[in-house]
Structure 1
């Protein structure tokens, strides 16, 4: 297939609304709880599909009601679930607390995601036929490395969102075309690889590891760094944030969708920032991911604000 293959996690999110994120040892009362689709892999697959890309998801769910919810949700977004396997472990679950400003804290039980330990021949074939491979780090690292090497051999664009951050082997870094990290992940990765860890200019220095680096900056937008090119900074849109859950994943999926349809990296960055800005205005991970038309409208509004 042409399009995007996402190899990653699928969870069910249990989201609690709180006045503030509890400190260690503190108990706070929730003002409500909701259940929704989530997990970084599933989020990014949905974001890519809703942004207009043909998308296939490689992952695992349990033989339980939550697994059925994941499969039905992906199918509803026209995502190919042929490579979605069923595990003896329960579907992954995330417990999320969201405060009144939209900030969150998340605890994840991997469950079936931990069973994605090898790629099948069909998984590898799908990756090899894709225009881009998108991955995160909520499944076993050896599978991420294997998928990256399969994609590299097939000249499929390899995009890694290095979250949750961990030490990455050189063989993985060498296979990447695009690395997407937030500021904290960028600093950790720099320290792990003996790159000067000072925050200012960090994205440029990470180019010693990967040819294209994107650093997401939350309310400040995102920056794009490429070997031999000047930094490109796209400011965030002016919005009222209610829930940041899934915003980074929305960014990743939208960016990948933009790139494979032929947008320049700069334009794909603007497209992704617009998508993420809509996500933070809505609650939940998958429920907050916008459709293509809404992203285009937001991006157009942003261009008009710049020229006014």
Structure 2
């Protein structure tokens, strides 16, 4: 049986313009290229989980506009169950992104319909209760994130929280999290501490949650839990092309692997899941196109085998 993952989160359409340089305040520059890319951390991670082999459902909101239809179509094409995706009056969420030739960028996000995801209905609760893993982020109202986590805890569903974008988290949410996934910047914000060595950040976060996955970019990932387990997993060595959605690929694959391997009960399984998630992030970074580069299961397995041959 496939891993069952429910994602409650955001869906945005990214409007991306490339230009020789970014404009200063009051300045207009002539752009070179324009494209629209389905995005939003929630939708990206749902697509990543579905492509990694999960039976994945998405709970979110899009607007009653053309962008909303594009976002819905992208999820459906990836095999994501969208019965929990609302269409609400007004615009969909968008991200305006400018990128220059040095790969510097600016991003302005208008949440749009994502701000309307303010409660969950009985069908959402049933889907969460039937899932192996509930995957959450912080791009929809925090009250909804807490409600979803509470429903998962009541049903015995594992709660994985990707605390992005970085924000301090209330105790009522932290008390419901089984696995916290953060990068080094997010870790410092959540722990309310200065940036530091991974081991220090992990220790600080274990005061708040029972298990932490710390993503380290091209260095891989680290893990710690309150039972005393400590792991450092190197990432595959690749020629990166576009790392924009690599974190979402990692997190989506992590949720799938956690559900499939029962990682909460087996230390060796945790190491295997982290290797698999690192392979997913690296496979995504090898291709251009951000969210459109999210890898399928075969691509993840190929890179996993090539990098971690002989590991469990």
Distance 2:3 2:222 in 1: 28
1:143 matches 2:140: no
- Residue 40 of structure 2 is matched in structure 1 by 39
- Residue 287 of structure 1 is matched in structure 2 by 292
Distance 1:2 1:270, change over 3 A: closer
State the Cα distance separating 1:15 from its structure 2 match: 2.0
User: What TM-score, normalized by structure 1, do the two folds share?
Assistant: 0.91
Distance 1:140 1:179 in 2: 18
- Please report the RMSD computed on the Cα atoms of aligned residues, expressed in angstroms: 2.2
Counterpart contact for 1:101–1:241, Cα < 8 Å:
no
- Residue 75 of structure 2 is matched in structure 1 by 74
Higher relative contact order, chain-length normalized (CA < 8 Å, sep 6+): 1
- Residue 252 of structure 1 is matched in structure 2 by 251
- Residue 260 of structure 2 is matched in structure 1 by 261
- Residue 108 of structure 1 is matched in structure 2 by 109
Distance 1:20 1:254 in 2: 35
- Write out per-residue CA displacement over residues 177-234 of structure 1, whole angstroms, 9 at most, x where no aligned residue: 000111001011111xxxx545112123211111110111112111111112342111
1:5 matches 2:6: yes
State the Cα distance separating 1:286 from its structure 2 match: 2.2
Distance 1:47 1:105, change over 3 A: farther
Distance 2:233 2:19 in 1: 31
- Residue 90 of structure 2 is matched in structure 1 by 89
Unpaired runs of 5+ residues, structure 2, are: 264-268
Counterpart contact for 2:3–2:54, Cα < 8 Å:
no
- Residue 199 of structure 1 is matched in structure 2 by 196
Distance 1:103 1:239, change over 3 A: farther
State the Cα distance separating 1:269 from its structure 2 match: 0.9
State the Cα distance separating 1:102 from its structure 2 match: 5.8
State the Cα distance separating 1:80 from its structure 2 match: 0.6
- Residue 296 of structure 1 is matched in structure 2 by 301
Larger mean CA deviation between 232-241 and 168-177 belongs to 232-241
User: What TM-score, normalized by structure 2, do the two folds share?
Assistant: 0.90
Number of matched pairs? 302
Unpaired runs of 5+ residues, structure 1, are: none
- Residue 208 of structure 1 is matched in structure 2 by 207
Distance 1:169 1:286, change over 3 A: same
